[in-house]
Each structure stands twice: as structure tokens, then as C-alpha cells.
Amino acid sequence: MKRAIGLDLGGTFIKVGLVQETGEIIKKAQFPTKADEGKKETVIQQMKNAVSSVWEQGINGIGIGTPGVVDNEGVVFEAPNLPGWNNLQLKKIFEERFKVPVVVENDVNSITWGEYLFGAGKGCRTIICLTLGTGVGGGMVIHGKLFRGAKYSAAELGHISIDYKGPRCKCGSIGCVERFVGRDYIIERAVHEIREGKETLIYQLASQKIENITPKIISEAYKKGDKIAGDIWIDVGICLGAMLASLVNAINPDRIVIGGGISHAGEILFETIKKTIKERSFRVLSENVEVVPAELSIDAGIISGAALIFQS
């Protein structure tokens, strides 16, 4: 049976594991990324140590999920939060060191492939994957292949504009969906309502401190029947649904897989997304599309990294 090492490079931790072709993790480890030391060499050394710690002779390769824009030669062009992560020949560096095939992919594209092969996208041909957190990450598998675009890791779905006259996004564009549903902007909505003097449980659950408000607290307030919290999640769902309706028209997916911390808002979010997609996309296309939560758990990055090796 094929075996591969999957490595998930995060801003704080590197997670690594030896994975079987079935998606089962045989062994795993975690190392600090040490990005705060400010040197790319330190981070690369940590990654090499991580791979060595789960190494086994005869493996089929190493799959690496990294933040940032990656090209199809395994060069990372830029990654915010990682010092010196520009034009970095990550694939070459790891192939020279370990003498096995190495695939480097943008982390959300990697997760998308993992969900397709082992998770909520299993059995489909065409899926869209969204991860909702600080930002909105995206990936697509089209006709059974990870969609990479012409040269670079495509599918920056968080930067699809849903309001051409809307607020400026930090990417430079206007009205990007991330500008409405990124973690901080969801919190901002709650803060705005409180400052307007609206009565909401969110404030009490945050011990009457604005800085304590999190999406989790907004969810708790909603579950206790808070109207403002419910309205926030409905509006977040409409924003995501509007963006996804356009994508449904564009690529006609079988399934849309949604993960990340913000997705834990649960049913109210998913139901609003589904309703909005139905209202705004072509009927025949929206009728068959399923919207489901991501399935790969805490080790998603490890399994997905290895899945990059199993794709051939």
C-alpha cells in the first residue's frame, strides 16, 4: 500500500504525519514553526526535522500545504506571516534533501483535495471548498482534478466581490466577500449593534467587554434566542450564498464543502447559504448542489498533504 508524508505548515505549528493511501495516519508529530525568529532558514530546518521525525524508507513522496501563492513548479511566491517566504523553491529544497517526489500546494487547495479524496467531497466529480476563519480560503476540484489555473494556485474565492461599490478589502479590491464574512468583520457587526445601543445577549456573554466578543460568543447568543446574533448569521449566510450562487452558475458543482472555525455557527449559516443559492442561481444548477460541512478533522492538513501524493 502507498504511504506518504503530509506536512501542514502553519504560522505557529508544523504538523506532520505518515499517512496510508486509505487516509489513515500511522504516526504524527508537531513542531513549532519558529516563524517569529524571522528567518526562513529556521522555518525550513523545522520542516525538515518534522519530516525526518516520521520518515520511513520506501515512502511514495512528501506533500506540503503552505500558506501563500504557489506555482506549479512548487515555488512559493509570497506568504503573509512567514518571513522571507518569497520566490522560495520549496519543492526543490525538499527533493534534494529527501530524494523522493515532493508536491507543494497552497494550504487551502491542499485541504480541498483532501476533502475530495477522503472527506465530505468523496464520490463527487466537481466540488467547491471554502474555509471560513480570519479570512475566506477557497479551492475547487473540477472533473476530478484540483483546479490550479494557468500557472498559480487559483481559487482565491474570498476575494470574489459581492458589492462593486462596497468597502475596500486589504487585497486592494472592493467589496470582496471576505470583507463581510472574515472573522474580524463578523465581530465588527456585533460591536456596531452594541454601540448603536441595541439590546443583545452578545454583550453580556462577553462580560460587557467589546474585546471579548468572538464568533463563538455570537453563536452562543443565537442559541439562547438572541435576535441580533441571528440577524448577523443570516447576513453572513446571504453574503456567502450570493458569492456561491455565482460560482454555482459558473462551474456547476456537485457539492460545496464548508469548513473552518466560523462554519461552526452551524445550521442557521448553512440553511441561509442554501436558501440564497437557490434564490440566486439557475434552477437546474442549484437543484442538485449539496452544501455540507467539512469532514476532515484536526489532522486535515496532514491527511490532505499526503493526499497530494496519492493523486496520481
Q: How many CA atoms lie within 13 A of 90 on its CB side?
A: 33
DSSP assignment of 132-162 equals: ESSSEEEEEEETTEE---SSB----GGG-BS
Q: Does residue number 173 form part of the binding site for Zn ion (CB under 5 A)?
A: yes
Write down the number of H helices and E strands in the chain.
11, 12
Pair 216, 264: CB distance under 8 Å: yes
18 is written with which cell numbers? 505518515
Burial 257-288, CB ≥16 within 10 A → b, else e:
bbbbebbebeebbbebbbebbeebbeeebbee
Query: Which span sits near Zn ion by CB under 5 A: 44-52, 130-138, 171-179, 272-280?
Result: 171-179
CB 7 → Zn ion: shortest distance, Å?
28
169 is written with which cell numbers? 478589502
Query: Which span sits near Zn ion by CB under 5 A: 43-51, 165-173, 233-241, 264-272?
Result: 165-173
Residues 224, 228, 233, 238: is their CA dihedral positive or negative? positive
For Zn ion, give the closer residue by CB, 117 or 162: 162
Query: Which span sits near Zn ion by CB under 5 A: 11-19, 72-80, 168-176, 233-241?
Result: 168-176
CB 86 → Zn ion: shortest distance, Å?
20
Query: How many residues bind Zn ion, per CB under 5 A?
Result: 5
The single residue among 59, 88, 160, 176 that binds Zn ion, judged by CB under 5 A, is 176
DSSP state for residue 91 in the 8-state scheme? H
Q: Does residue number 80 form part of the binding site for Zn ion (CB under 5 A)?
A: no
For Zn ion, give the closer residue by CB, 163 or 254: 163
For Zn ion, give the closer residue by CB, 43 or 176: 176
How far is residue 214 from each of residues 65, 154, 189, 201, 224, measured CA to CA in Å?
Answer: 27, 30, 11, 13, 16
What distance lies between CA 6 and its chain's CA centroid?
Answer: 16
CB 135 → Zn ion: shortest distance, Å?
9
Q: Does residue number 189 form part of the binding site for Zn ion (CB under 5 A)?
A: no
CB 262 → Zn ion: shortest distance, Å?
17
The single residue among 15, 159, 255, 274 that binds Zn ion, judged by CB under 5 A, is 159
For strands 25-32 and 13-20, give the pairing: antiparallel
Beta pairing partners, 35: none
Pair 158, 146: CB distance under 8 Å: no
For Zn ion, give the closer residue by CB, 58 or 172: 172
CB 90 → Zn ion: shortest distance, Å?
25
Query: Which span sits near Zn ion by CB under 5 A: 27-35, 55-63, 172-180, 291-299?
Result: 172-180
User: Hey, what amino acid is at 83?
Assistant: P
Closest among 108, 102, 104 to 88, alpha carbons compared: 104
For Zn ion, give the closer residue by CB, 103 or 169: 169
Query: Which span sits near Zn ion by CB under 5 A: 5-13, 136-144, 157-165, 217-225?
Result: 157-165
Q: Does residue number 136 form part of the binding site for Zn ion (CB under 5 A)?
A: no
Q: Does residue number 171 form part of the binding site for Zn ion (CB under 5 A)?
A: yes
The single residue among 76, 120, 162, 169 that binds Zn ion, judged by CB under 5 A, is 169
For Zn ion, give the closer residue by CB, 4 or 243: 243
Enumerate residues 221-240 that contact Zn ion by CB under 5 A: none
CB 182 → Zn ion: shortest distance, Å?
9
Q: Interface residues with Zn ion (CB under 5 A)?
A: 159, 169, 171, 173, 176
